[in-house]
Amino acid sequence: MRKFVIVLLPLLLSACVDDSASYYADGAGNHALTIRRAQQHFWSDAATVDLIMSRLPDCQRRLRLATLPAGEVEIELFSSGDNNWTLRAGSQVWQVESQTCTQYADNKGEFGEPVGIFRTEAGKFSFQPALVTAPAAPAQGAEAAAPQ
């Protein structure tokens, strides 16, 4: 019986998800937003999703966001400046402020600029920055036609 349990133990543990990904707002690690997903039981399809806000030394807080399908955790991150952040997973939206580590009770509706997305890619949960598009170049000859 003991050999049977030892053989099955890696199989039981391998299906669990418990990982995280971070976005560093200051690039140095003193101001970060981290999404953590954790599957409580190997037989469960759901994972609890938490946001950990950290702006050291003033703020550090963990907020429970939702319970989502473990393999489908995909959360978009938006910034509206002044340490105001919006996170969106499908139709669920959360707005937080990392100056004082608070979550707004009501969503303001304005998301701000896209920063990136937390998602699983190639089996690894990570943060992927939003693609920044360069402003369009003026049409050729448009500068010469402009009045001086």
What pTM was computed for the model?
A: 0.76
Helix (H) or strand (E) run with residue 145 in it: helix 142-145
Indicate whether 13 pLDDT > 80.
no
Helix (H, G, I), strand (E, B) or coil at 14: helix
Amino acid in position 72: E
- Among residues 59, 130, 53, the alpha carbon closest in space to that of 85 is found at 53
Q: What is the 3-state secondary structure (H, E, C) of 84-122?
A: EEEEEECCEEEEEECCCCEECCCCCCCCCEEEEEEEEEC
Q: How confident is the model at residue 15 (pLDDT cuts 50, 70, 90)?
A: low
Residue of 32, 25, 26, 35 whose CA lies nearest to 54: 32
What the block records as the tokens of 135 is 């402003």
Q: How many residues does the chain have?
A: 148
Q: Average of pLDDT values for 10-25?
A: 76
pLDDT for res 53: 95
pLDDT in tens, 27-75: 877 899 999 999 988 888 899 999 999 998 888 999 999 998 888 889 9
